[in-house]
Amino acid sequence: MLVVTATTLRALSYERQKDAEILMQAQRWHAGYYLTGYAIETAIKACIAKNVQAQTYPNKEFTNEAYQHKFRKLIVAAGLTVDFDKAYKDAEFFTFWLIIDKWDVERRYDGSVTQGQAEALYEAATHPKGFLPWIRNRWQ
């Protein structure tokens, strides 16, 4: 049985970010967009995994929140709502978040992502004041 740990998810987040970077350089906008979102998702899920206690059985509501793809709901499941609300007040973070919040896992099937959408998402995620640096500071 595969056991996914916080450490595994942290490493996966970095790997998917690098994959997205390579795809963006190759002008593979759709794939770069999708994997940027996946890097974000796994980063948030690393925070969730860090908070799960192996001795407890999570309730159904928590499990439903943790096993889905909506970033805002994952932030709640990670227990980061207060930190997120503070960061959200920063104008630059807020602008980046508006781009990130539009990512949808279902777009992996439609192939209609533009260069501008892919580049905007990647920048919003990886900029020093973007989402990935922010969430990765909460892994500790």
Could you tell me the residue ranges of all domains in the chain?
Answer: 6-54+62-136
- Check residue 25 and give its pLDDT: 98
Give tens-digit pLDDT for 85-105. 999 999 999 999 999 999 988
- Check residue 61 and give its pLDDT: 61
The total number of residues written for the chain in this structure:
140
pLDDT higher than threshold 60 for residue 57: no
d(CA 41, CA 127): 16
Give tens-digit pLDDT for 2-34. 677 889 999 999 999 999 999 999 999 999 999
Fold observed for domain 6-54+62-136? Four Helix Bundle (Hemerythrin (Met), subunit A) (1.20.120)
Mean pLDDT of the chain: 88
80-109: b (≥16 Cβ within 10 Å) or e: beebbeebeeeeebeebbebbeebeeebee
